[in-house]
Amino acid sequence: MKRSEQNKKNRSKLTVNHVASSRSFQRTLACVKNQESGNINPAELYKKNYTNKDGIWTSEGHQLAKARDEIEAMRAAREKDLQEFAKKQAEMEATLRDHREEQRVEQERIRLEQEERMKRSACEWSTRSTCNKNKSACERSKSAYRQKYQRNWRRKCPL
């Protein structure tokens, strides 16, 4: 097995990522060593090896906690959006119900007006037909009377 493959396997087994670039612990140790006293602060060495440039820890636990926080924030935002949507939907449904009720009332009013108009027109037609019957009988008698006297007038007229 090649050395690079072995190193790759070993790095994948690590639970905490080493972020000190290509510097080994010994090299980092030498850099962190206090110049004046010669003492090494183990906490400072650990921090130097396992934090990013911006000071964030690279441990999986920290990454998992960060991811968990992000997921919770997304869930909270989603829940908030769902609540707002449900509220808007309820308002829209109430508005739609009101509109439908108004439409139903308006249609009922129009239907009643049409029925009233139909009743009036039926009454007018019945009155007209009665008048027309009377008029037609009257007209027939007038025309018969006119014809009778016109014939007689022609007979009496010497011209």
d(CA 103, CA 52): 66
Point out the least confidently predicted range of 77-86, 127-136, 137-146.
Answer: 127-136
Calculate the average pLDDT of the chain: 76
Global pTM reads: 0.35
Q: What is the pLDDT of residues 63-97, one digit of tens each?
A: 677 788 889 999 999 999 999 999 999 999 999 99
Would you state the pLDDT for residue 73?
Answer: 92
Q: For helices 42-50 and 25-32, give the axis angle rounded to 10 degrees.
A: 120
What average pLDDT does the segment 101-122 reach? 90
